[in-house]
C-alpha cells in the first residue's frame, strides 16, 4: 500500500523520535490509541484500562530504538500491549489483590436461573448481564497470569497458537501445553461452581 504523500510513514516518524524529536510521538499516540485501548479493554478491568494503556505507550516509547523497520509497527505495539496486560496480572497474582475472591448470592441466583431455563432472557441478554461478566472475571482470576493470558488469546479471542506465542514472547510448545491446561483448569472451576 502506498503512503499518503502528506502523511509520514511510521518508520519515518520513529526515525524522527530516535533523532530527538520527542513531540513526534504524539502522531503515533493519536494513530494507535484506539487500537491499544481495544486490546487493553479485553484483558484488564475497566477501572485500570487508562493507566495500563498509558504504560503501554511509555514502554513502546522507551523500546523504540529496538523496533526493526522490517516488521509492522502496529504488530509490534500490539505485542507490547499484550505483555503489559500480562505484567498487570502477574503483579495482581503476586500480591493476591484479586478483584473478586468470592461470589455473592446475586451471582449464584443468576447462575441457577440461567442454567435451569427458568430465565426468560435470550442468550444474548444473558451474556450481556453484568453477572456474566463478573462471573467470567471471577473464574479467570483463579488462574495464573500466564494461563489467563494464553486462555484469553487462544480460546476467547481466537488467535492461533503461533500468534499468541509471538504476542506473549513464549515458545509455541509452551503456549500449546498451557492453553490445554488452562482450559482444563477453567472447566474444573466452572464444574465446581455448577455442582455446588
Partner 1 sequence: MESLSQKLTVLKKILCQAYHEKENINVGDQWQLNVMRRIRNLGPVQSGPSFFVLFEQFVWRLTPATCLLIIIGAIIFLKLGFFPDYDVFTLFINDTEELSLAQLF
Q: Is 184 in the site for partner 1 (CB under 8 A)?
A: no
Site residues for partner 1, 9-28, by CB under 8 A, read: 17-20, 22-23, 25-26
Distance of closest approach, residue 34 Cβ to partner 1, in angstroms: 8
Give SS3 for 45: coil
Q: Is 123 in the site for partner 1 (CB under 8 A)?
A: yes
Which CB sits closer to partner 1, 58 or 172?
58
Give SS3 for 133: helix
Decide: residue 72, CB within 10 A, 0-12 exposed, 13-18 middle, 19+ buried.
exposed
Which CB sits closer to partner 1, 48 or 166?
48
Site residues for partner 1, 38-57, by CB under 8 A, read: 38, 41-42, 46, 49-50, 53-54, 57
Q: Which of 67, 59, 61, 62 is nearest to 88 (CA)?
A: 59
Q: Is 82 in the site for partner 1 (CB under 8 A)?
A: no
| Residue in the structure block whose three cell numbers are 494507535 | 32
- DSSP H or E segment with residue 164: helix 161-168
Q: Is 156 in the site for partner 1 (CB under 8 A)?
A: yes
Return all residues near 18 (Cβ < 8 A) that are at least 6 apart: 64, 65
| Residue in the structure block whose three cell numbers are 499468541 | 164
Q: Is 191 in the site for partner 1 (CB under 8 A)?
A: yes
Give SS3 for 27: helix
Contacting positions for partner 1 (CB under 8 A): 17-20, 22-23, 25-26, 29-30, 33-34, 37-38, 41-42, 46, 49-50, 53-54, 57-58, 61-62, 64-65, 111, 114-117, 123-124, 126-129, 132-133, 135-136, 139, 152, 155-156, 187, 190-191, 194-195
Amino acid at each position: 500500500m502506498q503512503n499518503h504523500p502528506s502523511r509520514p510513514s511510521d518508520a519515518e516518524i520513529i526515525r524522527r523520535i530516535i533523532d530527538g524529536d520527542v513531540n513526534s510521538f504524539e502522531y503515533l499516540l493519536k494513530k494507535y490509541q484506539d487500537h491499544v485501548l481495544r486490546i487493553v479493554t479485553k484483558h484488564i478491568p475497566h477501572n485500570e484500562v487508562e493507566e495500563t494503556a498509558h504504560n503501554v505507550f511509555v514502554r513502546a516509547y522507551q523500546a523504540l530504538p529496538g523496533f526493526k523497520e522490517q516488521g509492522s509497527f502496529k504488530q509490534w505495539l500490539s505485542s507490547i500491549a499484550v505483555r503489559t496486560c500480562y505484567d498487570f496480572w502477574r503483579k495482581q497474582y503476586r500480591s493476591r489483590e484479586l478483584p473478586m475472591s468470592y461470589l455473592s448470592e446475586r451471582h449464584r441466583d443468576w447462575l441457577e436461573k440461567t442454567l435451569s431455563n427458568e430465565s426468560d432472557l435470550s442468550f444474548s441478554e444473558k451474556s450481556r448481564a453484568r453477572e456474566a461478566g463478573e462471573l467470567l472475571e471471577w473464574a479467570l482470576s483463579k488462574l495464573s497470569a500466564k494461563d489467563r493470558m494464553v486462555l484469553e488469546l487462544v480460546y476467547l479471542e481466537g488467535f492461533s497458537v503461533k500468534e499468541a506465542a509471538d504476542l506473549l514472547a513464549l515458545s509455541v510448545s509452551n503456549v500449546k501445553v498451557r492453553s490445554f491446561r488452562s482450559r482444563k483448569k477453567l472447566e474444573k472451576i466452572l464444574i465446581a461452581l455448577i455442582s455446588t
